[in-house]
Amino acid sequence: MTARTRAHDEPGFPQEPDLSPADGGLMDHEVFTREEYLQIADFLRTQTAHRPAVGLILGSGLSALADEIIDADRIEYADIPGFAVSTVQGHSGRLVFGNLAGREVVMMQGRVHAYEGLPMARVTLPVRVMALLGVRTLVVTNAAGGVNPAFKAGDLMLITDHLGLMTMVGGNPLWGPNDDSLGPRFLAMNNAYDRDLRKLALAVAAERGIALQQGVYAGLGGPTFETPAEIRLLRMIGADACGMSTVPEVIVARHMGVKVLGISGISNATIADADSEEEANHEEVLAAGREIAPKLMALIRGVLERLPD
């Protein structure tokens, strides 16, 4: 294990539970207990006076949205017990508490993915902790490849539903013992992307002249981009966009009764023709994020302003 260099080693830093990766604590956990989640939530409460009911997760290239938070308390993932730090460029690793569009929010500026070699329990831990901090609505964003041929780079897509290609066949974050005090063993997923929140997002987009596509997000394991045959398969099974995140987080949010609004920023058109000379790459994903971020922010602000209490 690497040496501990984190701020909470320093004298005077508030007492924290002994759960950090450097302790050999939570690093490889496949399962966390309610008690462990609660200890992490209690630790965060000592770091901020904000008490958010809304959580947001920022996808690749969308980190700039966190700069809009007022009265912000920023806490590095490296300083939060159990939180993993992303190894992916374009993902900062901090939790930002504060005020956005008149609401108390907590924003994940960067997320981790299963392809980084982390157990699903670690990928989804921040969502569990946000729910235990009082988050009842989660806005999940991501960068996604456009599978629907009508979509182009820079589009926003309201996620109506997902195809959990990883989680349908294993790799589901709910595999393992179920703690009934967190959520049910068998979870309904037909309203995963809350219909009232979707209506609200569509109304806000129409009012403010923000173009908003709608569609099904296919959650893939990554980190390879798709082959042309895989893209044609995804089209056949009804996907409109694809990416390497979101699905595990949404499953865990629903497990804890948190309502979800999901929005993809289409960062690139995917390639369905084996003879095409184009290639997908992470740089175009990040560049599209810069175009998408202002539109996405306007949409999220509008939703937050009109979100019922």
User: Distance from CA of residue 80 to its chain's centroid?
Assistant: 17
Q: Does 267 bind ligand HPA (CB under 6 A)?
A: yes
Question: Nearer Cβ to ligand HPA, position 35 or 279?
Answer: 279
Single residue of 36, 79, 155, 226 touching ligand HPA by CB under 6 A: 226
Footprint on residues 133-162 left by ligand HPA (CB under 6 A): 143-145
| Cα(58)–Cα(218) distance, integer angstroms | 18
Torsion of CA 81, 122, 86, 222, to 10 degrees: 180
Which positions from 36 through 95 interact with ligand HPA, judged by CB under 6 A? none
CA distances, 178 to each of 164, 173, 182, 186 (Å): 20, 11, 8, 9
Q: Which is nearer to ligand HPA, 102 or 221 (CB)?
A: 221
C-alpha 298/C-alpha 294 separation (Å) is 6
Nearest-approach distance from CB 119 to ligand HPA, in angstroms: 21
Least CB distance from residue 223 to ligand HPA, whole Å?
Answer: 9
Q: Which one, 26 or 285, has the nearer CB to ligand HPA?
A: 285
Per the structure block, which two tokens stand in for 308?
């019922």
Tokens 């982390």 locate to 118
Distance (Å, whole) CA 94 – CA 76 = 4
Q: Tokens 């399962």 identify what position?
A: 31
Stretch of 62-70, 152-160, 198-206, 237-245 contacting ligand HPA, by CB under 6 A: 237-245
| Rounded Cα–Cα distance for residues 81 and 79 (Å) | 7
Integer-rounded Cα Rg, in Å, for the chain is 19
Please tell me whether residue 246 binds ligand HPA under the rule CB under 6 A: no
Count of residues of this chain found to bind ligand HPA when the rule CB under 6 A is applied: 13
Task: Compare residues 184 and 221 and give the one whose CB is closer to ligand HPA.
Answer: 221
> Could you give the residue numbers annotated as active site?
60, 91, 113, 115-116, 143, 244-245, 268, 282
Q: Among residues 39 and 264, whose Cβ is nearest to ligand HPA?
A: 264
Tokens of 44: 């965060």
Residues near ligand HPA, by CB under 6 A: 143-145, 225-226, 242-244, 267-268, 270, 280, 285
